[in-house]
Amino acid sequence: MKHYLFTILTRDGEHEYYDNLLFTPTDDMTALDIIVEFTGHPKEDWSEAYECIYENSSDYRHYSIHSRQEVEPEDVKVLERYGI
């Protein structure tokens, strides 16, 4: 299975935050599915505010996937050890 390191961009008014998510997506997952996995909010609570930028009905922040990088199998354990 391929692991990916996703960088999630969260926009909070004037501020931007970047978080990392080590994840193994399935072939049919969309960007919204990855963001749902990251936040834990149900998928039906989301809408697309702008192209590829999503917002939750109970939250004022906007989320998008900033980058996606494939992780080599030998590097997965190192990233998990450091809490990513």
Cβ neighbours of 50 (radius 10 Å): 9
Torsional sign, CA 31, 51, 60, 58: negative
Task: List, for residues 57-79, the tens digit of each pLDDT value.
Answer: 888 899 999 999 999 989 998 98
Higher per-residue pLDDT: 13 or 55 = 55
Q: Distance between CA 79 and CA 18 in Å, rounded?
A: 16
pLDDT attached to residue 26: 85
Averaged pLDDT, 17-32: 92
Q: Which sequence spans correspond to the domains of the chain?
A: 3-77
Averaged pLDDT, 22-41: 92
Q: Distance between CA 3 and CA 72 in Å, rounded?
A: 7
Instruction: Give pTM, 2 decimals.
Output: 0.85
pLDDT attached to residue 19: 96
74-78, Cβ contacts within 8 angstroms, sequence gap of 24 or more: 76/3, 76/22
